[in-house]
Structure 1
Amino acid sequence: MVTGVETAGLVLGSIPLILASLEFYAKGIAVTRRCLKYEQQFNSLIVELQAENAIYTNTLNLLLAGIVKPKDMADFLANPRGKSWKEAEFDQKLNQRLGAAYWPYMATIGELNHSTERFRQKLKLDASWKPQFSDEQTFRKYYKRLEFSLKKSDYDDIVGTIRRANSSLHLMTTQAISLEAMQSSSTAGSQSIPNFSIINDRAQGLHSALRKGWQCACHSDHGVDLQLESRIHDGQSDDSDDEDSMQKPFHVIFCYSYNGQRTQQSVPAEDIPWSWEEADVQMTIREESGAGSAQSGKGVRFASRAQKAVKAALKPTPNLRPINNLCAAISTLEKLERDVCLSLLANEYAKQKYGILIYPSKVPPTDTEAWSTLSLRSVLYDPAFSRHSRLQLAVTLASSVLQLHETPWLSNNWGKDDILFIKRAGKIAYDHPFVSQCFNRTGLTQTSPCTSISAMNRIIRNQTLYALGIALIELWYGKPLSALRKAEDQAEADAMTEWNTAHRLVEELYNEAGEKYSDAVRRCIRCDFDRRASSLEDAAFQRAVYHGVVAQLKENLDFLF
């Protein structure tokens, strides 16, 4: 038994066959003198049916967008009798999208199918929906034998039924999509998001602790690379104030010599005690006294923390080694002594909120002399940097902006030179992007000079999000923004030229990247969140950015791959 969904495919395949037959008959009319009086109205019939076929195809495109992957859409529509139309999962997704309109929708498609069958019978087509003769020169002979009508008026009622059905289908489709968007927006507004505030606070605490941890006399500026994570499913809701909300620890790579010195060491290689080390880092928070906690407020919160304290106490920390000097501690790591936990600044809790527990990788890094770092700028043109990797990075960068904004790890005016990848064994780990910080011998962090952008503040409401929008454009096109400029973008100031280019590409992206990705880019470039607030410190604005950018990019990635 043919289902309603399969019928939609049958109609999609039937109308082009009817059109092909009508066009074949039109050629026969053109060579049959006695039938020439029907030529104009027959051609008019063809035009009307072509229009209805286009409307039906466009309606199906709207209906299937988001259900059928873009890369599969052309094949899906080109094979209306294929097995894909018969899959139960496909029918289930349509049912979910159409909701209460599902059965009226399928009934209307049934009317369309009945109308195409009537067309076939009136045109005397065979069971394969083709004319019963193949030579238009014999049209007169078969016209008399088969007795099919050449009068347009004899087909007007069928075309009228098709037109009304098409109109109903289009209306139900657009209504379903609008309702789906409204429901999605409403659901997004009520859904919890990761507690980015706590992640942000801990990232700040990590930097503060690391800054105090390089108490060495090395003639080198050490580097710490912080791996960027999407953390979309990490932790509890943004409404929770639970400090124990990070499921995944920070992952870092310690570098003996920071960026510029990594390739040109200031000391002989044999005098370098270590080069690279990987580790997971857990933040430890200073607990208040029992009395203070009891007086601080909510009993439920206190009970929760008490349970976690008991759990932490029962969980052993192997080979805990308190340290004050990271460089010295890393240099003492040996293959047989890697199952340790380095407790940095454990004796300084009274001075700061966080200490850190460093768990070195149990497998020592190998061939570190051949390791190198590459910036996003340097790999944009790399053919090995696949579309999937680019879109995955887009999600990670968007989420990382919410995690690291206003911390030393990510400047407001960040860009493709700040996003790094590590190349090992000749391969670039595109799924593990990093940001990097340099800690010099005095413990102070070296930062790049920030270019003044005050002149653009009236246009760019949030520089961090604007930088994300630029990165998203560059990731999609696989080119730096400067390579995408046109003469019309040129302005007196470079910053304005960049803005003009980005502003133009926002609109052009819709024709290439699809709605979700393009919407995310538009919101970042124009800070278009329908809110007065534009600071990521504002909880409501942060939520809007998550749902309007991060979630959209993630949905786009999941749909495409």
Structure 2
Amino acid sequence: MSGFEVAGIVLAVLPLFIEATKYAANARGAISPRTRDEKLLEFYETFWWETYELQKQVERVVMGLPEISEARKREVVENREIEKFGQEKDLEEALRSFLVSDADYAAFQKVMSKVLELLARLVKDETVHLSQSDHHDQGKMLLKLKNYQDGRRSGGLASSFRERFRFLRREKEREACLKNLKIWNQRIHIVVDSACSAADRRKAITTKPPDAASHPLSLLRQLSQRLFSAIWKCWTCDCPVGAHEARFSLASCAHSKAQPCKTIAQLSFDFLMSRHSPQAPPGGSSLSKTPWKWREGTVIIKPQSPQDSQNGAQLENICDVLRDALSPEHGLQLLIEDMERTQQMWRLNWREAQLQYVRTKAEVSLKSILQHTTAPSLVERRRLALVLAHSIIQLHESPWLSDQWSKENICFFSTAAGFDLGRPYMSTALDRFPSGSEPPNLDRFHRNPGILRLGVLLIEIHRWSGLETYWEPVTDLVDGKPTPNTDLQVARRVLRSQALADCFETYRGAIEACLQVPWAHSGSRVSLEDRETQEGIYGHVIEPLEEEVKHGDFRPRRGQVAWV
């Protein structure tokens, strides 16, 4: 087998071993009293950690492959089909390029083969017998792992755990297994670290200032994805009460907007993250009993610089820094050093909290605000619309937020003066592997769900009511439920009606552009990863909204109508 094929198979089956070991450590009642001792539990925990660390190292290799798109890399990491890895010829070539020398490639292939052999020996399978001479027969090893994987999918993992795992039998075998796994883990660390360092050196030599073809919007999206990927890697929460929640400020997108003819080298995001009570009662709430459960934070991503990180501490786990916090008034400051292929997270000094939110009031969704509050001034609504447009073009189709753009998932916090409409927040699922972009829906007329959602949000924000208030049950619903095209057809009808008669043409044009995508050719895909779509959204939506906000900030002259 090729180096990538072996690595891919290891990557595909490792989650099964991680899950199985975790099950054994937690479900101790399923193991006989004779084996239920501290040494065995220590073995489970150590084995789980070694396999988890090995999985992360192989993922580093995949995410560092040159000339492979981010979406394709995520697809590889998530793939659990063993048979497919032998067909990925382009990935094998990318692996050879990443490892550079034949010696590095041979070392990587050797380590992965040893890991594959070790995993196959751990699985007992009566239908595939491995003799001592067969331990190098990768075909038989592959068949054993495939059978084990199929058994897991059929739900047989828990019931047959003791029978299928050989290392439960003898302490000597367990010690040998763990010793070998640690050795191969250390060696894969050496190979991967060497390859990443070499890639960074090549980048430093060959990097040139971006030319006109490096579009600022594309660079902004790339930086955003690297920032969220780096945060996700540190979000390995081990708190006993559960993972920390995160709310990212979409206003950060408007503050870091791309400027034509300017190089985009860094950006920052403000966020809130939940803090757990240090003494949560058994069976009680995992969140603090104090009314305010959020801690402020700011994260910035920028090119590597010794001056920036010399006063910080390297951060591996987000929980580590939270345990050191003395007060909820302390705000996190995080720095991500960007080396394109790899990123390093640093914790900087604490800062004072900046937000003046009423801490006795919980967050409220945009949907609830539209239902229960009166409309704010027109310029406030335009500013909110502009923030959401910037966030769509910067973050939609990313691994983190693609399916979140709706009034149910956008939330606000309260100040003494009312809701802080200038800072909408969105929940971000950093405790699970990123999902990637939404799958296509062939029943939907519109070619990009995010751009359609933006058009709907622009209507809802202007009218200060949900689009569903315009539904007509006979024409818009089937069996009382919306169809994949309900939002589009209702939005078009509202756009043509008197409901938006009080809009300037600039705002109506921005909505129409979201619904019609006039820059796209018939039949072609519409993706925010494409420069044509980025420029279309910027020119047809963002610039008109910026023009309206600009005029809304002016004091009215004599004879003009003030924005209220």
Give TM-score, length-normalised by structure 1.
0.51
Q: Aligned partners of 2:335 and 2:415: how far apart in 1? A: 29
CA distance in 2, matches of 1:364, 1:545: 32
2:504 counterpart (490, 497, 514): 514
Counterpart in the other structure of 2:493: 504
Cross-structure match for 1:551: 543
Give the 3-state SS of the residue equivalent to 1:222 in structure 2: coil
Match of 2:248 among 201, 219, 226: 226
Aligned to 2:443: 455
Q: 1:531 to 1:560 in 2, by over 3 A?
A: farther
* Aligned-partner Cα distance in 2 for 1:431–1:401: 16
Q: 2:358 and 2:415 mapped to 1: Cα distance? A: 8
Contact 2:412/2:423 (CA < 8 Å) preserved in 1?
Answer: yes
Tell me what 1:372 maps to. Answer: 362
Judged with a 3 Å threshold, the aligned counterparts in structure 2 of structure 1 residues 338 and 467 are, in CA distance, closer, same or farther, namely closer
SS at match of 1:278: strand
User: Structure 1 residue 520: deviation in Å?
Assistant: 0.5
Q: How far apart, in 2, do the equivalents of 1:500 and 1:414 lie?
A: 19
Cα 1:253/1:481, change in 2 over 3 Å: same
Identity level (%): 23
C-alpha contact (below 8 Å) 1:253/1:278 kept by paired residues: yes
Report the residue type matching 1:517 in the other structure.
Y
CA offset at residue 521 of structure 1?
0.4
Residue in structure 1 matched with residue 430 of structure 2 by the alignment: 439
Q: Does 1:394 align with 2:385?
A: yes
Structure-2 separation of matches of 1:470 and 1:366? 31
Report matched runs for 1:205-220 at 5 Å: 205-218=226-239, 219-220=241-242
Q: CA deviation at 1:284?
A: 3.7
Q: Are 2:293 and 1:275 equivalent residues in the alignment?
A: yes
Superposition pairs of residues 536-547 of structure 1, within 5 angstroms: 536-547=528-539
One-letter amino acid of the counterpart of residue 428, structure 2: Q
Question: How many residues get paired?
Answer: 330
- Structure 2 alignment gaps of length 5 or more: 1-211, 554-564
Q: Does 1 or 2 have the higher relative contact order (CA < 8 Å, sep 6+)?
A: 1
Please say if residues 312 and 346 of structure 2, whose CA atoms lie closer than 8 Å, have aligned partners that are also in contact.
Answer: no
User: Counterpart of 2:476?
Assistant: 490
Aligned runs of 1:279-428 on 2, under 5 Å? Answer: 279-285=297-303, 313=307, 319-334=311-326, 342=334, 352-353=342-343, 355=345, 360-363=350-353, 370-381=360-371, 382-383=373-374, 385-412=376-403, 414-424=405-415, 427-428=418-419
Distance 1:350 1:530 in 2: 30
State the 1:245 CA deviation: 5.0
Q: What CA distance in whole angstroms lies between the structure 1 residues aligned with 2:438 and 2:226? A: 23
Distance 2:439 2:410 in 1: 18
Contact 1:317–1:341 (Cα < 8 Å) also in 2: no
C-alpha distance in structure 2 between counterparts of 1:523 and 1:214, whole Å: 38
TM-score using structure 2 length: 0.50
* CA RMSD, Structure 1 to Structure 2 (Å): 4.1
Tell whether the 8 Å contact from 2:249 to 2:269 is kept in structure 1 after alignment.
yes
Native 8 Å contact 1:462 1:535 kept in 2: yes
Aligned to 2:519: 529
Matches within 5 A, 1:186-197: 195-197=216-218
Return the alpha-carbon distance in structure 2 between the equivalents of residues 336 and 275 of structure 1.
8
Deviations 1:175-196 (A, max 9, x none): xxxxxxxxxxxxxxxx999822
- 1:230 Cα offset (Å): 6.8
SS in 1 for 2:299: strand
Contact 2:216 2:264 in 1 (8 A): no
Match of 1:481 among 467, 470, 477: 467
Asked if 1:200 is matched to 2:221, the reply is: yes
Alpha-carbon distance change, 192 to 384 in structure 1, aligned in 2, over 3 angstroms:
farther
Q: Match of 2:352, SS?
A: coil
- Whichever residue aligns with residue 530 of structure 2, its letter is D
Greater Rg by CA:
1
Deviates more, 1:520-529 or 1:384-393: 384-393
Q: For the structure 1 residues 235 and 398, does the alpha-carbon distance in structure 2 shift closer, same or farther, using more than 3 Å as the test? A: closer
Distance in 1 between the 2:379 and 2:272 partners?
A: 25
**Aligned-partner residue type, residue 475 of structure 1:** I
SS at 2:235's partner residue? Answer: coil
Distance 1:538 1:342, change over 3 A: closer
Contact 1:228 1:435 in 2 (8 A): yes
Instruction: Provide the C-alpha distance between the structure 1 equivalents of 2:361 and 2:474, rounded to a whole number of angstroms.
Output: 42
Shift of 1:221: 2.2
The 3-state SS of whatever aligns with 1:281 is: strand
Q: Work out the CA distance in 2 between the residues paired with 1:518 and 1:192.
A: 31
Cα shift readout 1:40-92 (whole Å, capped 9, x = no counterpart): xxxxxxxxxxxxxxxxxxxxxxxxxxxxxxxxxxxxxxxxxxxxxxxxxxxxx
Question: Which segment drifts farther, 474-483 or 327-336?
Answer: 327-336
**Which structure 1 segments of 5+ residues have no match?**
1-190, 287-308
